[in-house]
Structure 1
Amino acid sequence: MPFGDPEPDPRAEIYLRVQASPEFQEIRRRHRDFVFPMSLAFLAWYLLYVFASTFARHFMAHRLLGACNVALAFGLLQFASTFLITWAYARNARAKRDRAALNLRWETQEMFR
């Protein structure tokens, strides 16, 4: 049937059923509960850095230690906060989502058999 309607894939119904399940919705809620606030916090932190660099030049030029000034410290803290958020995300995923997602995966695999 190259020109007709393709036959429905029976796997699609399974995936839709899994997506509608309370277990999957709980995994998604836990993901959103971490990702959205953390994304907003990081965006605010980044914008603070950008705005301070633009509008508070004297503050950012203040020397802290030797040749290190506030701007350089903020820039390095951007990298540090990125790694910290990555670590926190992985820890949160392990603690709150991975086991439930794995259980759901095994249940889904059983439906395919």
Structure 2
Amino acid sequence: MTTQHHDSSVYEEIGGSDRFQELKRRYRSWAFPMTVAFLAWYLLYVVLSGFARDFMGTKLFGNINVALIFGLLQFVSTFLIAWAYNRHSLAKLDPLADELRHEIEGAPSGEEEVKA
């Protein structure tokens, strides 16, 4: 029972720390605007498909029209966002999260870890 109480107090302490708050700020400052941008882009596609049928049906070359290009760009943007998040996470989130994890676990951080 004391271990569970100890664990919860450690997590409450870390959760209230400035470094954890910074980690949350870094995550939110990237994730929220990117989510809004992606949803706006997706809704633009949906709205144009429903209300600007002539525009979306405009043939660009052969049987390829604006709607098809926009649809394919949805997939491209999804992969670009995932790639960009990975880069952001590796540069801004993971180092701080690793420090916090090592602090909680009591293990050395960074290069000091023993590799098996």
Considering the TM-score relative to the shorter chain, is it more than 0.5?
A: yes
Q: Does 1:81 align with 2:114?
A: no
Q: Does 1:100 align with 2:73?
A: no
Percent identity (aligned): 52
Aligned length in residues: 106
Instruction: Give the deviation of 1:9 after TM superposition.
Output: 2.1
Which residue type is aligned with residue 25 of structure 2? R
TM superposition score normalised by structure 1 = 0.90
Q: Secondary structure at the match of 1:108?
A: helix
Per-residue deviation, residues 37-79 of structure 1 (Å, max 9, x unmatched): 0000000000000000000000000001111100000000000
Q: What is the aligned partner in structure 2 of residue 15 from structure 1?
A: 11
Q: Secondary structure at the match of 1:52?
A: helix
Aligned with 1:63 (options 48, 51, 59):
59
- C-alpha separation in 1, matches of 2:75 and 2:68: 11
If asked which structure has higher relative contact order (CA below 8 Å, sep 6+), I would say: 1
